[in-house]
Structure 1
Amino acid sequence: MRSPKFRGWALLGAAALFAALPAAVAAPGSAHAGTTLEERKLPMRFSWVACEPNCRGWVSAVGIVTADSPGDFDEFARGRDLAGATIVLDSSGGSVNDSIALGRRWRALGALTTVGITVETHTARGDRASVVPEAYCESMCVFLLLSGKTRYVPEAAHVRVHQIWMGDRADDAKAASYTAQDMMIVERDIGRLAKYTFDMGGAGDLLSLALNVPPWEDLHELSREELRLTNLATTKAVADVLQQPGSSDVPMAALAAKPLQDRFVSTAVETEATPQPAKATKTAEALAPTGGIAATGPAK
């Protein structure tokens, strides 16, 4: 895995950092989270979670979307029948244009989406996979969630939105200076995001809520009513995304709420010779542009 290199415009994405996952799951036995805080700081990784014979299984998608993520998903999907698969998200966002590309791939597969953390419970009868509902879907993760044909958001999940901004100036956005080309690029990418939102069946309320949150304010967490108004949540039944037809076993674990730790802000993440975690940021910056634009990359 290569470490991401980010530049340019960014859709602000604060990593929601929280305490270690307690072993409180639906089934008895020892449990461990399928993701850790360190994994959330890395580029997005995909894994297949089997839960036979009670359910079909699901795709766990954890981390930050980078320029490599669409290709990484294509490689992961090779040889697998993912038509109609459920994708379980735990992400602080990432690249706008690469998230759009990834979301369109998922819609073409007829994927279902939800928010959660995959947990394996060790019992006398063997390992059992389940999904802890308290997870974080922020920034462009929200638009990946939107790509599902059916979308379920657990009560304990945190879904948060905010504005597009220039990543290298998010630390002091009010004091920074901006060029006409900067304005052109961000408006272009807002247009791309708007088209994607409507193509996926989202409502204009989603864009309105996101674009009203500047970088010097906290991310806006969507209420249950806002999840309905934006058309992010299309079902109230977890069985619609995580239960195999005819099965009575829904692999969604119960977990008490945990306190939220501080979030951090950083600017660019440079490529290293060895893989390095992407810093938890309010921005997930864009790649260098192609064609006639040389100074600033597309929004992310």
Structure 2
Amino acid sequence: MLCAAALCIALTAPVVTSGSSARVTGTLEERKLPMKFSWVACQPNCRGWISAVGIVTAETPKEFDEFARERQLRGATVVLDSSGGSVNDAMALGRRWRNYGIMTTVGSSVDPRNGDRAEVASHAYCESMCVFLLLSGKTRYVPDGARVRVHQIWMGDRADDARAASYTAQDMMIVERDIGRLAKYTFDMGGTGDLLSLALSVPPWEDLHELSRDELRLTNLVTTDAVAEVLPPRDTAPVAAVADLNAKPVQDRFVSEAVAVEDKALPAPKATKTAEAHPTGGLAATAPVQPQR
């Protein structure tokens, strides 16, 4: 979940195969690329949502500003499928989202075909700093089937063999500094100390910790169990006009795996740790550098 000094670990996620009449966006390769934003139109009678797929880099906040410039995004929903990214830039992006009153969820947008309406498949990943982007939503919903996973801050260029690497006092200062920044952000966004505690207990040589439904509530990452509060229902118009459909969530804009995916998703490959930003927040395009997560 966490990153140090704006360095974050990009983690792999399972591939979701295509259905016969729709294609799930956000493949394994896309999750390893810099985050891209796209507007998913929900035609004909409801508002759409923002699809955010990939890792956060130093350029991501600026790219979101450009994406938002020609759109009315206040109160919109962001659907996340991400392996994390730069800690400082993710926090900057999250603060932008909170200022827009954006709502957040986890999922993969399904391209409409043959006249079908756009849908969201619940089988998606939100890992590392993506968890803090999820936290930035004014309203937050995590569907069954989504995987929200956290882990510890570490130096990104040494995460593959963390116990054998050496560290300087400067390295430790960077980590401590960014833990402090992240803690302030967490409380500003309405999260709890349990989120930091759970993440900081998972070293880089262990598998990421997947948050249970109880832990999603404990950390305040989930604020509603009603999908209708963050996404328009399938058969009615605006979200504002929708009654509470909590009793039948899979009939809303989220679709079950059987509908969205022709085959079962492949098992998750072992996470890979890839540094992607300098301690100052700049992008390292070629080689791993310092702390990340």
**2:32 is the alignment partner of 1:35:** no
Report the counterpart of residue 245 of structure 1 in structure 2. Answer: 240
1:238 deviates by 0.4
1:171 equivalent among 157, 160, 164: 160
1:211 deviates by 0.4
2:204 equivalent among 215, 218, 224: 215
Q: 1:151–1:233: 8 Å Cα contact kept in structure 2?
A: yes
Report the counterpart of residue 12 of structure 2 in structure 1. Answer: 15
In structure 2, the CA distance between the partners of 1:101 and 1:182, relative to structure 1 (3 Å rule), is same
Task: Give the TM-score, by structure 1 length.
Answer: 0.83
Report the counterpart of residue 75 of structure 2 in structure 1. Answer: 84
Q: 1:94–1:141: 8 Å Cα contact kept in structure 2?
A: yes
Q: 1:12–1:215: 8 Å Cα contact kept in structure 2?
A: no
Letter paired with 1:258: A
Letter paired with 1:10: L
Letter paired with 1:191: G
1:227 equivalent among 216, 238, 241: 216
1:13 deviates by 4.3
Task: Name the count of aligned residue pairs.
Answer: 266
Q: Which has the higher helix share?
A: 2
1:121 deviates by 3.1
**2:268 is the alignment partner of 1:261:** yes
Within 1, Cα distance between the matches of 2:164 and 2:57? 28
1:1-300 equivalence runs, <5 A: 10-16=7-13, 18-23=14-19, 30-123=21-114, 126-243=115-232, 244-247=239-242, 250-256=252-258, 258-265=265-272, 282-289=273-280, 299=292
1:8 deviates by 6.6
Within 1, Cα distance between the matches of 2:160 and 2:146? 27
Within 1, Cα distance between the matches of 2:269 and 2:290? 29
**Partner secondary structure for residue 269 of structure 2:** coil
1:285 deviates by 3.6
List gaps (5 residues or longer) in structure 2.
Answer: 233-238, 244-250, 259-263, 282-288
Q: In percent, how many aligned pairs have the same letter?
A: 67
In structure 2, the CA distance between the partners of 1:118 and 1:94, relative to structure 1 (3 Å rule), is same
Task: Give the TM-score, by structure 2 length.
Answer: 0.85
In structure 2, the CA distance between the partners of 1:259 and 1:37, relative to structure 1 (3 Å rule), is closer
Within 2, Cα distance between the matches of 1:107 and 1:9? 20
**Partner secondary structure for residue 82 of structure 1:** coil
1:44 deviates by 0.1
Within 1, Cα distance between the matches of 2:211 and 2:9? 16
Letter paired with 2:257: L
| Runs ≥4 residues deviating over 4 A | 296-300
Root-mean-square deviation (CA), in Å? 2.2
Report the counterpart of residue 26 of structure 1 in structure 2. Answer: none
Within 2, Cα distance between the matches of 1:57 and 1:258? 26
